Amino acid sequence: MSDKLYIYVLSDSIGETGEQVAKAAAAQFKDIDYRIKRFPYISEKEQILNIIQEAAGLNSIIVFTTVIEEIKETIIIECEKKDIEYVDIMSPLLGSFHNVLGNEPVHVPGTMRRLDERYFNRVAAIEFAVKYDDGKDSRGIKKADIVLIGVSRTSKTPLSMYLAHKNIKVANVPLVPEAPLPKELFDISPKRIMGLTANPIKLNEIRQERLKSLGLNNNASYANLDRILEELDYAEKIMKKLNCPVIDVSNKAVEESASIIMEIMRENDLI
């Protein structure tokens, strides 16, 4: 073919799908000279008319991906008026899905991209939870959506990771009587802090099991009941001072505790 082929890609979203399909098709032809012109976020008839007018004077094909019926109909009508070849990528697929599933598509543009954005936000939240786990870096306190505080083995890390999968950025800080408290905890709203506590007997059992799993003597002070009571007393005072909500995680699964935290966050307009 001597004349350059102009492939116009129109979309109600970013148009990446249409462009990739057009490139895949073009790759099947030898010595093809072509140019792709992508037009994303098409939403008005005037945009379509201007593009079709330009394409009419060239050796062109219109490729479009849209889930908005009005846009699709306008493109088809205008292409037929100008005798321009066109390809509707989405409609045959939507029709087939409808035939198999029996329900109607939502006809909302950009849905896949929003799903991708949620995925990347979730990955970022997980990375955040890892970076600011166990008080590693107190700078995360001000950046977090919520901060979990509590003594050791009150499910701070599992909860942080579970909430991260819900796209919530979580930092967690261990409360240890001998360790200085990060000043950043007093610089944020108490609504963004969640205190975690547990029954001392239950905590004693959990810590003893933890020591066993590490091959250590379970008589260490870490699992000593008096020491646990001291830590819990210290943590209670800190939580009262911060005036933050407190959850007893003793007999709760991570999912249950996370559900309570998210409900509190919703009540405080944090999510």
* Residue 210 neighbours by CB under 8 Å, 6+ apart: 153, 222, 223
How far apart CA 69 and CA 91 sit, in angstroms, is: 10
149 touches 196 (CB < 8 A): yes
Structure tokens at 61: 């094909």
Partner residues linked to 65 by β-bridges: 11
Site of tokens 């598509």? 105
- Type and span of the H or E element at 266: helix 254-267
Q: Please check if 23 is assigned to a binding site.
A: no
- Looking at residue 140, the DSSP 8-state letter turns out to be H
Q: Is 152 annotated as a binding residue?
A: yes
151 among the known binding-site residues?
A: yes
Distances (CA, A) of 142 to 49, 125, 127, 154, 175: 50, 14, 16, 22, 18
Got the DSSP string for 201-216?
Answer: HHHHHHHHHHHHHTT-
Is 189 marked as binding a ligand? no
150 is in an annotated binding site: yes
| Residue 157 annotated as lining a ligand binding site | yes
Whole-angstrom Cα distance, residue 40 to residue 37? 10
What angle is formed at CA 88 by the lines to CA 83 and CA 91, rounded to 5 degrees?
A: 140
> Which residues contribute to the annotated binding site?
150-157
> Which residues contribute to the annotated binding site for ADP?
150-157
